[in-house]
Amino acid sequence: MAASPQTNGQKTIPTLWRERILKRDFEIVLGKMLQSDQGREDETEESYLRSANVQWEGVDLSDVKTMWFSSSEKRDLLLRKGDLVVNEGGDVGRCAIWRGIPESFYFQNAINRVRARTSASTRFLYYWLYNLKHAGFIDAMVSRITIAHLTAEKLARVPWPNVPSAEQQRIATYLDASCAAIDAAVAAKRRQLETLDAINKAIITKAVTTGITASVALRSSGVEWIGDIPRHWKVEKLKYLTSLIVDGTHITPTYLPDGVPFLRVTDVQDHTIDLGNVKYISPEEHQLLSKRAKAKRGDILLSKNGTIGLVKIVNWDWEFSFFVSLCLLRPHKKLNPHYFSYFFESSLVDQQLSESSKKTSVTNLHLVKIRELLISLPPPDEQSKIVQHLQSKCAEVQSLKGNITNQIATLTAYRKSLIHECVTGQRRITGNDTSNLMLT
């Protein structure tokens, strides 16, 4: 095995081949700085790639910007089929192969264009950089004192295996086919997860609409999107089922290393509180911010900005303050907080929330709309039975989702391992391997 040379103090991943630096086999060019106005007569407005367009799965052209390019810039910065585009900023090192369509396309200075000088393969280089990125090498070699940048100079010094061009082509062909098969399997698994989510929502919606009794007399709820409900159920506005509906502070407090937790909408994650990134404030500031209401066990936190409709029941006794993106509800005894939580997972509220939310840069659900939300309401004892039923049924669905999620993780890990083995020579790809791909 060849010894790994040093690059910026970082060792490369061991490979069975000797290594050389990229600039010996590839031309690396940084794109153009943003230019919003025409500066010269020969400049025309052209489409260009940003770092957001460059994804591991390929170049995403769903959101394309334009700026002004001169004749010489268009000559020097034109993308050709087979070029490798590598992020200089953003998620540094993320790259994709340019497929050549559209023909006239350029790139900004958040991207390095890599073009082969020799018979080297940019497709093989794509997999080599993928391997370096996922092993942490790329992030380790770029400066993170401020914002990370993989400059053209740094990229030019990245070592890569000195593999014969024919073998590069075989490896790239083998990985193209193998990764496509793995990606298809992962996509199928993700569709299974989507199906299970739909099943879970359907189970919940049925339970909070018609209950869990096999045969029950129904009546019209009087609300089109709720439909029929059991005769003994009611439909009530949320404001009549709670003694308190209040949002958090509009003031961004002073954060401290420790103190009283200050919850934001990003801390509420599908029935849980993510304490990993929670901010803290002083007890004195907490007292000022919580004058309107102090939460207590059994209260409900509801997200009203960003991802709206996330519910977390307060099942702890420690004090906390919260931002305006969350609101606090205190239910009456006739509203089981767990039933309320399931109700917000049903499709019954989808139309309510979409109509009530104000979509600008973020999605908002104002307090006045929250107070007017309609709830299909069984008697308290029946709410408890529905909650027990849904806990059991939803646990079964979650178990299936967990198994599929583990399968996706296994496939993803295998994909990374396969790429690593192939581009480092630990798994040698022969002509028979690529011939077998043609037969399958």
Q: For the ranges 32-36, 201-205, 289-293, which has the lowest average pLDDT?
A: 289-293
Confidence of residue 147 (pLDDT cuts 50, 70, 90): confident
**The pLDDT value given to residue 143:** 67
**The pLDDT value given to residue 145:** 58
The string of pLDDT tens digits covering residues 83-105 is 999 999 889 999 999 999 999 99
**The pLDDT value given to residue 307:** 79
Global pTM? 0.82
Q: Please list, in sequence order, all residues whose beta carbon lies within 8 angstroms of the beta carbon of residue 8, skipping any fewer than 6 positions away.
A: 141, 154, 157
The rounded distance, in Å, linking the Cα atoms of 283 and 321 is: 10
Residues in the chain, overall count = 440
**The pLDDT value given to residue 6:** 43
**The pLDDT value given to residue 112:** 98
Q: What percent of the chain has pLDDT over 90?
A: 73
pLDDT of 79 above 60: yes
Q: What percent of the chain has pLDDT over 70?
A: 93
- For residue 253, how many C-alpha atoms fall within 13 Å in the half-sphere facing its CB? 28
- Residue range 234-377 forms a domain whose CATH class is alpha beta
The string of pLDDT tens digits covering residues 376-420 is 999 999 999 999 999 999 999 999 999 999 999 999 999 999 999
Residue with tokens 């793995």: 182
Q: For the ranges 105-119, 151-165, 248-262, 349-363, which has the lowest average pLDDT?
A: 349-363
What would the mean pLDDT of 107-127 be, rounded to a whole number?
A: 96
The rounded distance, in Å, linking the Cα atoms of 380 and 255 is: 41
pLDDT of 8 above 60: no
The string of pLDDT tens digits covering residues 121-134 is 999 999 999 999 99
**The pLDDT value given to residue 439:** 56
CATH code at 6-163: 3.90.220.20
The string of pLDDT tens digits covering residues 207-255 is 999 999 988 999 999 988 888 999 999 999 999 999 999 999 998 899 9
**Displacement of CA 344 from its chain's centroid (Å):** 22
Q: How many helices (H) and strands (E) does the chain have?
A: 11, 28
- Of the two residues 10 and 166, the one the predictor is more confident about is 166
pLDDT of 298 above 80: yes
- Of the two residues 282 and 5, the one the predictor is more confident about is 282
Confidence of residue 30 (pLDDT cuts 50, 70, 90): very high
- What b/e readout covers 368-382, taking b as 16+ CB neighbours within 10 angstroms? ebbeebbbbbbeeeb
What would the mean pLDDT of 315-343 be, rounded to a whole number?
A: 93
**The pLDDT value given to residue 144:** 61
**What strands lie across the sheet with 300-303, from one edge to the other?**
242-247, 326-331, 300-303, 311-313
The rounded distance, in Å, linking the Cα atoms of 411 and 409 is: 6
pLDDT of 4 above 60: no
- Of the two residues 307 and 63, the one the predictor is more confident about is 63
CA distances from 310 to 106, 107, 327, 413, 421 (A): 42, 40, 11, 31, 43
Confidence of residue 106 (pLDDT cuts 50, 70, 90): very high
Q: For the ranges 38-52, 345-359, 399-413, 426-440, which has the lowest average pLDDT?
A: 345-359
Write the DSSP symbol of residue 32. Answer: B
pLDDT of 423 above 80: yes
The rounded distance, in Å, linking the Cα atoms of 86 and 79 is: 12
Residue ranges of the domains in the chain? 6-163, 234-377
Please name every residue paired with 113 in a beta bridge, in sequence order, or none if there are none. 29, 85
pLDDT of 10 above 70: no
How far from each other are the two terminal CA atoms of the chain, in whole angstroms?
A: 33
Q: What is the mean pLDDT of the chain?
A: 90
pLDDT of 5 above 50: no
**The pLDDT value given to residue 225:** 83
CA distances from 80 to 22, 100, 122 (A): 19, 6, 12
Residues 145, 277, 288, CA angle at the centre, nearest 5°? Answer: 115
* Phi (first) and psi of residue 242, to 5 degrees: -135, 155
Residue with tokens 């401020």: 146
